[in-house]
Amino acid sequence: MRRETIHAWLMLLPALVVLATFMHVPAVETIIASFWSTARGARPSHFVGLKNYERMIADPVFWQAMRNNLVYALVTVPLSMGLALVMALLVQGRVAGRAFLRMAFFTPTVLPLIAVANIWIFFYTPGFGLIDQIRGLFGLHAQNLLGTGSTALYAVAAVAVWKEAGFFMIFYLAALQTIPPTLIEAARLEGASRWQIFRRITLPMIMPTTLFISVNAVIDAVRLVDHIFQMTQGGPDNATNILFFYIYRVGFQFWDTAYAATLTVVMIVILSLLALGQVVLIDRRVHYK
Amino acid sequence: MSLWDKLATLGGWLLAILWIAPLAYAVWTAFHPAAYETHFDLLAPLTLENFPAAWVQAPFARYFLNTVILVTVILAVQLVLGTFAAFAFARLRFPGKQVLFLLVLLQLMVMPDVLLVENYRTMRILGLTDSIVGIGLPYMASAFFIFLLRQTFLQVPTELDDAARIEGASLLTLIRRVYVPLAKPTYVAFGLISVSAHWNNYVWPLIITNSVSARPLTVGLSIFSASDSGVHWSVINAATLMTSGPLLVGFLLFQRAFVQSFMRAGIK
């Protein structure tokens, strides 16, 4: 073998071993495990074919988790992105105290999601949390936003929006800075209104960034759900149970590892499709330039 | 200032105040006696006693130590493994390079924390459950870092590389003396990302640990605040701030570096 090849392998080996042990091999094992039963006591695991998948399709909690995840994504993605754009436009413009604004918007991004969850649980506390204190000023009665089935999912979604918007803001800030000022000057000389400039110049120019952020935001909506563990444990009555939390519950509270593997396969498929989408989008972004 | 700018300033400040309010309120209660946690009063007396109260009610000192060891070990190993891998991908020629690189990049898609069940089983076989190494091991090779650093290494002028080789430098010297110093901004950026990511990581450490000796701050905090044993909110808020404190202070001091590294992190 050539010397360079040997050097290359020696340099790659440690990283490849770690990646193979904790990513490639377990990913394949997860897929295999989804075709086997969970070993229980004296009964060892045996091949069951598509049984786990049949069970999943018949499992109302699985479908509820998928629906919840969809609603969660539909709330968090557009809202956090829209706010991110507004924040970026504000911070970029001629606003007094820009440094404070930027800090206020970005700080939640740095906090651990578990800490964020604590802050918001306190905020939501029925009766004496800040939200109910403010409602009290207007003579409105106390309410349990996290403990009510119809509001809980939106209450946890709000937390994600709070945490993520400032993060997406910095991508929009970078994108806004790439718009040539002469373009906007020219439009202004032609008598274009602010709205027209935003609609016809800014928005199209930041479109690639918008696509890029949207894929990342969707991935986060599937994966970044620590606060649900802390705030609601999927409750009340599965109202905030979403796919990743359901995998955790099945795998580590019910110890049904085969079914957890089956659910994990669904999650891997979703993440792969999103990653594929990302590659396609980034490819297209190159063409914009 | 035009009317438009005034309106934007007003709107911006309103949004910023609304945005910082949850955190500000948590800070406020953490510095005031428990009696005021249920009703906001600007004139309430200040106190520092919630912090020591939280500190003694749970082994936070140990959690801090665990987290600091965890993020340090992960980062150190990530940097070493990543540097070698990135160099091989950027500057060495060998068969199968493209395929291997694609295999590495798969991690961007299937992150270690998705494969909870199988990775837990692996750790049990290795006897590493409930240990700091067990929390960190799956993350010690970062595809994202290898990708980022390879991009940086590719930009190192080949003339520099050739000159060093002509002078008889070994590959290791070449990496240490030429490539690493030139890639310093990438190392700093990734360092900030890695430390904040693993300081904040929760689900995997929650699963893999079950004792105080390995538990990081995030898991310790969640157990402390979920204990439901009549702990006052002001104390829980103090603990919450304490656990995010180092990151928060670091962020406020190095805002620009943080924002820039996070931006790099997103542009994969």
Contact A232, A240 (CB under 8 A): yes
pLDDT at A286 > cutoff 50:
no
Q: Which residue has the tokens 């080789």?
A: B165
Q: Which residues of B touch A174 (CB under 8 A)?
A: 263
Q: Touching check for B81 and chain A: CB below 8 Å? A: yes
Contact B229, B236 (CB under 8 A): no
In a domain, B33, yes or no: no
Give the minimum alpha-carbon distance from A155 to chain B in angstroms, rounded to a whole number: 14
Q: Touching check for B37 and chain A: CB below 8 Å? A: yes
In which band, very low, low, confident or very high, does the pLDDT at B264 lie, cut at 50, 70 and 90? low
Residue of A nearest to B250 (CA): A110
pLDDT given for residue B1 in this prediction: 62
In a domain, B68, yes or no: yes
Q: Which residues of B touch A96 (CB under 8 A)?
A: 9
In a domain, B24, yes or no: no
Cα–Cα distance between B121 and A201 in angstroms, integer?
A: 53
Q: Touching check for B115 and chain A: CB below 8 Å? A: yes
Specify the CATH number for the domain of residue A180: 1.10.3720.10
Which of B4, B85, B251 comes nearest A15 by C-beta? Answer: B85
Cβ pair A223:B118 closer than 8 A = no
Residues above pLDDT 70, as percent of chain A? 97
pLDDT given for residue A79 in this prediction: 96
Q: Touching check for B19 and chain A: CB below 8 Å? A: yes
Q: Which residues of A touch B236 (CB under 8 A)?
A: 118, 122
Q: Which residue has the tokens 């991009």?
A: B151
- DSSP letters along B62-73, please? HHHHHHHHHHHH
Q: Touching check for B152 and chain A: CB below 8 Å? A: no
Number of domains in chain B: 1
Q: In chain B, positions 47-76, which contact chain A (CB-CB < 8 Å)?
A: none
Give the residue numbers spanning the domain of B123.
Answer: 60-266
A/B interface, count of CB pairs below 8 Å: 258
Number of domains in chain A: 1
What rounded mean pLDDT belongs to chain A?
87
Cβ pair A101:B109 closer than 8 A = no
Cβ pair B11:A8 closer than 8 A = no
In a domain, A92, yes or no: yes
Would you call the peptide bond into B185 cis, given omega within 30 degrees of 0 as the criterion? no
Strand, helix or coil for residue A40: strand
Mean per-residue pLDDT, A227-235: 88
In which band, very low, low, confident or very high, does the pLDDT at A282 lie, cut at 50, 70 and 90? low
Q: Which residues of A touch B225 (CB under 8 A)?
A: 118, 121, 230
Cα–Cα distances (Å) from B184 to A121, B78, B151, in that order, read 41, 15, 13
Cβ pair B94:A19 closer than 8 A = no
Give the minimum alpha-carbon distance from A59 to chain B in angstroms, rounded to a whole number: 20
Give the minimum alpha-carbon distance from B195 to chain A in angstroms, rounded to a whole number: 11
pLDDT given for residue A285 in this prediction: 53
In a domain, B20, yes or no: no
CA dihedral B143, A267, A243, B216 (to 10 degrees): -20
pLDDT given for residue B227 in this prediction: 66
In a domain, B28, yes or no: no
Q: In chain B, positions 184-243, which contact chain A (CB-CB < 8 Å)?
A: 196, 199-200, 202-203, 206-207, 217-218, 221-222, 225-226, 233, 236-237, 240-241, 243
In a domain, B38, yes or no: no
Q: Which residues of B touch A210 (CB under 8 A)?
A: none
- Sequence length of chain A is 289
pLDDT at A284 > cutoff 80:
no
Residue of A nearest to B261 (CA): A170
Give the residue numbers spanning the domain of A128.
Answer: 59-288
pLDDT given for residue B230 in this prediction: 66
pLDDT at A167 > cutoff 60:
yes
Please tell me the number of Cα atoms within 13 Å of B147 on its side-chain side: 16
- pLDDT tens readout for residues A144-157: 888 888 889 999 99
Cβ pair A230:B240 closer than 8 A = no
Which of B16, B104, B117 comes nearest A257 by C-beta? Answer: B117
Contacts (Cβ under 8 Å, ≥6 apart) of B17: A104
In a domain, A50, yes or no: no
Specify the CATH number for the domain of residue B116: 1.10.3720.10
pLDDT given for residue B268 in this prediction: 41
> Which runs of consecutive H residues, i.e. helices, occur in chain A?
3-19, 25-33, 51-57, 60-92, 98-110, 113-124, 130-137, 149-177, 181-189, 194-197, 203-205, 207-223, 226-231, 243-252, 257-288
Cβ pair A120:B116 closer than 8 A = no
| R_g of chain A, CA atoms, integer Å | 24
Cα–Cα distance between A264 and B119 in angstroms, integer?
A: 12
Question: What are all long-range contacts of A175-184, with beta carbons under 8 Å and residues at least 24 apart?
Answer: A175/A88, A175/A205, A175/A206, A175/A208, A175/A209, A176/A88, A176/A89, A176/A92, A176/A202, A176/A206, A177/A92, A178/A205, A179/A205, A179/A206
Which of A18, A107, A271 comes nearest B140 by C-beta? Answer: A18
- pLDDT tens readout for residues B10-24: 888 999 999 998 888
Q: Which residues of A touch B179 (CB under 8 A)?
A: none
Cα–Cα distance between B91 and B3 in angstroms, integer?
A: 57
Cα–Cα distance between A45 and A52 in angstroms, integer?
A: 13
In a domain, A44, yes or no: no
Cβ pair B116:A194 closer than 8 A = no
In a domain, B46, yes or no: no
- Which one, of B57, B72, B65, B10, lies nearest residue B229 by Cα? B57
The region of weakest confidence among A75-79, A271-275, B99-103 is: A271-275
Q: Touching check for B259 and chain A: CB below 8 Å? A: yes
Cβ pair B85:A118 closer than 8 A = no
pLDDT at A48 > cutoff 90:
no
Which of A112, A264, A275 comes nearest B108 by C-beta? Answer: A275
In a domain, B51, yes or no: no
pLDDT at B81 > cutoff 50:
yes
Paired tokens of B199: 């300081």
Cβ pair B8:A252 closer than 8 A = no
